[in-house]
Amino acid sequence: MPTALVILPEGFEEMEAVAPVDLLRRAGVEVTVAALADSIHVTGRNEITIHASTPLSAVGDRLFDLLFLPGGPGVKHLREDPRVRSIVLAHHAADRWLAAICAAPTVLHDAGLLFGRRYTAHCSVAHELSAILGDERVVADGRILTSRGAGTACEFGIHLVEKLISPEKAREIAAAICA
């Protein structure tokens, strides 16, 4: 069974986290939702509190098939935490899938992984990402997958299923949710 790690900081964008996690789980992916802080209860930007699977500190050095970073104002916490950079670089070095939506591609940028690549992100971070493909909803470049924001969360989740499982499974999940 493929595995995925989702890291949730306080202030994450709820739609960007929940929709892809839901779609990945429908496809049979074992998704671990890790809270960046020590509490497993993480409150998003719209005051919706999510019960994470575990605190990030308990994940250790485990590698997953997919590392997914949702966006929102909480991305600043992802960028400030050196553990996140280490996890991103470890997954990249192991040739695992890296996925980021909204402002979260800045985390990949900070780690030096977007240079010379095609990517998209939310328009609010375009000033930091000089090569952003601002009109693209979902962009894949090698093992790096990026998306624009809350409005592309379901499409992005289906794309993650396609890459992690198969195009057939992605079509099956899309049909099941009338996408």
Which residues are tagged catalytic? 102
Rg (CA), the chain: 15
Q: How far is CA 143 from the centre of its chain?
A: 13
Query: Among residues 175, 171, 124, 173, which one has the least CA distance to residue 148?
Result: 124
63 close to 96: Cβ distance less than 8 angstroms:
yes
